């Protein structure tokens, strides 16, 4: 019997591989940027919300060998794909995949860091694939609900990191600040030197702090930029 949903493409990184199965979202530059950018200084417990294929959890495990990572997803196919990818990685003892709704799950404890590549479409036509719609559209996880969830799951020194398109990202920052978060790091992403910014990498803190602002251009006239290569070279095979 044929599968109702097309399998997500395989992607090989330097130290692990992603087999998407029937997860709604394939490996993306957004995810790789976020996983490479998140600050893991003094971090022991990490929560990956909406883990999908497990990409962010695996990147965090590669980058920080002392961390314990919980990876949660509401979609059964995503959780199955993440579990397979974790089991096939060098860090299966430190990553715990859960099929659950982060908004209703209890007894998770608190975390030093939360990482999330969140749904970002607040309106408009949804994908016909239920998995892809869940991964991309805020109907299943509104930004306010996500931020309130992070408030309850971060410890006092904890930080939460996200990536969003610019318009949604600026709205997300405003909402976060209204809820009491501080914007502690911000990186504005341009796809090329001649194109406008299209993504924001954001770190929110429960502690007051000065925002560290950065800019990154993915491609220059010669190909990938030096900054992009420096950020992602530990992961991409051809960097």
The domain segmentation of the chain, as residue ranges, is: 11-184
Q: What DSSP character marks residue 95?
A: E
Residue range 208-224: mean pLDDT, rounded: 96
**CA angle (70, 71, 74) in 5-degree steps:** 130
- pLDDT band per the 50, 70, 90 thresholds, residue 120: confident
E strand or H helix that includes residue 40: none
Tokens of 124: 């408009």
- How many angstroms separate the CA atoms of 81 and 87, rounded? 10
Q: Which fold has domain 11-184?
A: Rossmann fold (3.40.50)
pLDDT on residue 128? 47
Show Cβ contacts of residue 118 under 8 Å, excluding neighbours closer than 6 positions.
49, 50, 138, 141, 143, 146, 162, 164
pLDDT on residue 8? 62
Q: Give 87-111 pLDDT, tens digit per residue.
A: 999 999 999 999 999 999 988 999 9
Is pLDDT above 90 for 125? no
Show Cβ contacts of residue 113 under 8 Å, excluding neighbours closer than 6 positions.
38, 39, 40, 43, 45, 46, 47, 60, 158, 159, 160, 161
Q: Is beta strand 68-73 parallel, antiparallel or unpaired with respect to 45-49?
A: parallel
| Confidence (pTM) | 0.89
By C-alpha distance, which of 185, 215, 235 is closest to 38? 185
């Amino acid at each position: 019997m044929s599968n109702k949903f097309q399998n997500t493409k395989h992607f090989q990184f330097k130290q692990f591989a992603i087999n998407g199965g029937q997860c709604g979202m394939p490996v993306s530059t957004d995810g790789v940027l976020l996983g490479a950018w998140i600050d893991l200084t003094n971090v022991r417990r990490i929560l990956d919300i909406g883990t999908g294929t497990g990409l962010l959890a695996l990147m965090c495990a590669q980058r920080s060998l002392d961390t314990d990572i919980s990876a949660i997803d509401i979609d059964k196919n995503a959780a199955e794909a993440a579990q397979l990818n974790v089991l096939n990685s060098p860090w299966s003892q430190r990553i715990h995949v859960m099929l659950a709704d982060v908004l209703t799950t209890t007894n998770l404890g608190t975390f030093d860091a939360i990482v999330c590549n969140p749904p970002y479409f607040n309106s408009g036509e949804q994908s016909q694939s239920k998995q892809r719609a869940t991964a991309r559209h805020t109907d299943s996880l509104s930004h306010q609900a996500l931020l309130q969830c992070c408030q309850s799951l971060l410890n006092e020194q904890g930080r939460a990191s996200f990536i969003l398109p610019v318009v949604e990202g600026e709205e997300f920052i405003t909402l976060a600040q209204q809820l009491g978060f501080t914007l502690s790091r911000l990186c504005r992403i341009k796809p090329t030197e001649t194109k406008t910014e299209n993504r924001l990498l954001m770190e929110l803190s429960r502690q007051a702090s000065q925002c560290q602002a950065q800019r990154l251009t993915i491609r220059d006239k010669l190909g990938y930029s030096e900054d992009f290569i420096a950020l992602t070279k530990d992961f991409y095979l051809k960097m």
